[in-house]
Structure 1
């Protein structure tokens, strides 16, 4: 296991969520990349090759489900765990439909954020 910095991409069009998550994760030593849309998602993710991806359900333009499915159909990227996050009450169904590894309901607290990320990178 290399000691290189863990990388995460957060796709969310809510600037507050991006800044809070970035701050918390950078404090824990993550290299954080954020995008407010999922256009050209294969190119964006391929350029960074993160350890984890956080995907909002309502991300422009195509939405989190299509964005996640696109990643899961791309051989080089399909094994990167995706954490689906949304305020939608059907989040469990949405995450499953998208092919995400797990999900995080909004609003979430920071302990939930850490727990879900640690769970997918330990898997």
Structure 2
């Protein structure tokens, strides 16, 4: 089965660092990106099993980046967890076509269980 790879799109380096440490601790391989305009290039490069997408990521934002990914002929099936502190997070995630969402700030146990569920 091999190690699952998670690609995190977030412009907050603290979140990237914490998520990376936690997810690596649970045995996942983690790749990161601080921008979203190159979403397809990064996904092609990393070949992730799962994407964690922040809403407020530059330059195009999480909704647009998720839509690009979900419209892609090869990568559309990669599950996306949409994360944000927005009040209308559920609607944003739906509009983007994400598979599920995580409200920020999220509990690290919830992060891990959501990732596990999406990769099951």
Q: What TM-score does the superposition give when structure 1 sets the normalisation length?
A: 0.95
| Structure 2 unaligned regions, length at least 5 | none
Q: 1:78: Cα distance to partner?
A: 0.2
Compare 45-54 and 92-101 and name the one that shifted more.
45-54
Q: What TM-score does the superposition give when structure 2 sets the normalisation length?
A: 0.98
Partner residue of 1:25?
23
Say if 2:93 is the partner of 1:95.
yes
Alignment of 1:35-74 (within 5 A): 35-74=33-72
Partner residue of 1:8?
6
RMSD (Å) for aligned C-alpha atoms:
0.6
Q: How many residues align?
A: 120
Deviations 1:32-67 (A, max 9, x none): 001110122111101111110000000000000000
Runs of 4+ in 1 over 4 A off after TM superposition: none
| Structure 1 unaligned regions, length at least 5 | none
